[in-house]
């Protein structure tokens, strides 16, 4: 299963920009969580996940993203997901997590 | 009918899988390949992939990564795919009702059953029906 997590710091917007490529499931969910948590520990800024080549996620990944979001919210930050594919977007919708993550600029986390 | 088509009925396919997360992607590929023979569309194929992935993930977590489970794909109906998962030595396995994976399975599957078997096995089965038949 090929996958890639590529972080970069966007100085202009002062955000972590993370490109996710491939499939993420129970196998690599912990790795993704650890890398995202490392980023927010280094700089307490917003996270932007670029998902145009993210082809699959499961509930384990979702749960881990929620855990990272908890850390991000501790400093009033946000996690945005950009360019979700329809099948991935569907997963966020059926779990109602589209209401707590900022997805493609639409919707805001419920306070 | 072209040279690749057959009049033989599709028969069940079984996978014996170690309770190892590394193999879940292989199950998704297998499920997708079998479901595509039933002319499921892209959305339905993605649902099938998610379903098998969620059930596998659930069983792997419950088994603590020990042992394995048997997966049986049954497309013989021709209009739906039934996938059953048998986890052995599952006497003490309990599936929490508020598990997110369970919620996803219930949302995506047209039918979902959990049956504790008498011999200590746990049987989970899911069905995905070709949506043309649901209209």
ipTM over 0.90: no
In contact, A24 and A56? CB cutoff 8 Å: yes
CB contact under 8 A, B107 and A94: yes
For chain B, what's the residue count?
A: 135
Q: Do B104 and A94 touch (CB under 8 A)?
A: yes
What is the pTM for the complete model shown?
A: 0.88
Q: What is the mean pLDDT of residues A73-81?
A: 96
Contacts of A28 (CB under 8 A, 6+ apart): A1, A3
Which chain A residues are Cβ-neighbours of B57 within 8 angstroms? 25-26, 58-60
| Chain B residues close to A25, C-beta within 8 Å | 21, 24-25, 53, 57
Q: Cβ of B128: how many Cβ atoms within 10 Å? A: 23
Going by pLDDT thresholds of 50, 70 and 90, the confidence category of residue B54 is very high
Name the token pair of A82.
Answer: 């950009």
Is the CB of A59 less than 8 angstroms away from the CB of B49? Answer: no
pLDDT (mean) for B59-80: 86
């Amino acid at each position: 299963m090929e996958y890639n997590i590529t972080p970069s710091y966007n100085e202009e917007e002062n955000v972590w920009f993370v490109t996710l490529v491939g499939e993420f499931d129970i196998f690599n969910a912990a790795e993704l969580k650890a890398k995202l948590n490392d980023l927010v520990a280094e700089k307490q800024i917003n996270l932007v996940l670029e998902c145009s080549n993210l082809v699959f996620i499961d509930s384990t990944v979702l749960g881990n993203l929620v855990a990272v979001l908890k850390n991000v919210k501790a400093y009033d930050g946000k996690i945005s997901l950009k360019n979700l594919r329809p099948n991935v977007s569907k997963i966020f919708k059926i779990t109602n997590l589209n209401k707590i993550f900022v997805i493609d600029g639409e919707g805001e986390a419920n306070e | 009918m072209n040279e690749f088509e057959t009049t033989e009925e599709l028969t069940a396919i079984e996978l014996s899988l170690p309770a190892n997360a590394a193999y879940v992607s292989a199950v998704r590929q297998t499920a997708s390949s079998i479901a595509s023979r039933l002319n499921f569309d892209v959305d339905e194929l993605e649902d099938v992939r998610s379903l098998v992935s969620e059930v596998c993930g659930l069983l792997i977590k419950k088994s603590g990564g020990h042992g394995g489970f048997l997966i049986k794909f049954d497309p013989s109906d021709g209009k739906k795919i039934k996938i059953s998962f048998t986890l052995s030595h599952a006497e003490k396995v309990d599936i929490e009702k508020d598990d997110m994976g369970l919620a996803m399975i219930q949302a995506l599957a047209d039918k979902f059953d959990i049956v504790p078997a008498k011999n200590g096995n746990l049987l989970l089965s899911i069905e995905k029906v070709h949506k043309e038949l649901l209209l």
